[in-house]
Structure 1
């Protein structure tokens, strides 16, 4: 008989909580205005960045999302055509474009994403900065391990 892994109790608990968490997130009602847009996780990440951090360039978004600028450009083009995002010239450098959530879409996107941000703030608030960093690093390591298992 093999020796149990000391992490088994924690793994068991996480294996139970993760499906519940994902199920709750999937049940978040999408505001009426966004239902026909066929939004995917890549859209959620980009919209979250713009909602939390404000207008950014394609390069800034690409760096934050850890994807190529061409990938961000494709997403921005798609969401711009649907009226969700808008592009404007950067006053400091007219060659660059600043990407932002359109004023008409901002209330619906905020309504959709704010509950998740509030829940994260509530859960992470009591932790020290080092504990928050460890939590994020653990999730990233889990993602990496899960991805390499594919």
Structure 2
């Protein structure tokens, strides 16, 4: 097992690591059939929820993305016009609309997300459930700290 790090040494390591990670993430190639859609990171988060959790309502997506339903509606409208997403009536409540990825673009979106998902699986698999929770909580605390600054 590797030796622990003092806080300042860990901060230094992370300040050097994070820009490299961000650069590598930005270089993940968008599949050819999706390149013309000018997808942004906010779209990737929305699409990730639909891939991992399945079709859901605008309000459910808004809650998970921590943004207003109106913001999600605009994103869904944009992706819907591009043929990436579709809205359908909820069979149980006709007033609600369920959002899903179209079958036509599902394979390309799965491919786009697969590299990151596989990298995270490989990185997290050796950790215990408690260590994974601590890692995610630490990243969330960092995100809040940066947002508050």
Q: How does 1:61-140 map to 2 (within 5 A)?
A: 61-140=61-140
Q: TM-score, normalised by structure 2?
A: 0.92
Task: Indicate the SS of the match to 2:127.
Answer: coil
Tell me the alpha carbon deviations over residues 104-143 of structure 1, each in whole angstroms, 9 at most, x when there is no partner.
1111111111110111111112222222121111111111
Task: Indicate the SS of the match to 2:96.
Answer: strand
Q: TM-score, normalised by structure 1?
A: 0.92
Gaps of 5+ in 2: 1-5
Pairwise CA distance, 1:22: 1.0
Structure 1 stretches of 4+ moved >6 Å? none
Pairwise CA distance, 1:24: 1.0
Name the Cα RMSD after superposition.
1.0
Q: Is 123-132 or 99-108 further displaced after alignment?
A: 123-132
Task: Indicate the SS of the match to 1:14.
Answer: helix
Pairwise CA distance, 1:80: 0.2
Equivalent pairs, count? 144
Tell me the alpha carbon deviations over residues 51-84 of structure 1, each in whole angstroms, 9 at most, x when there is no partner.
1111111111111111111111111011000000
| Distance (Å, rounded) in 1 between the aligned partners of 2:61 and 2:68 | 9
| Distance (Å, rounded) in 1 between the aligned partners of 2:122 and 2:110 | 17
Gaps of 5+ in 1: 1-5
Pairwise CA distance, 1:15: 1.3
Partner of 1:3: none
Pairwise CA distance, 1:29: 0.9
1:53 and 2:53 aligned: yes
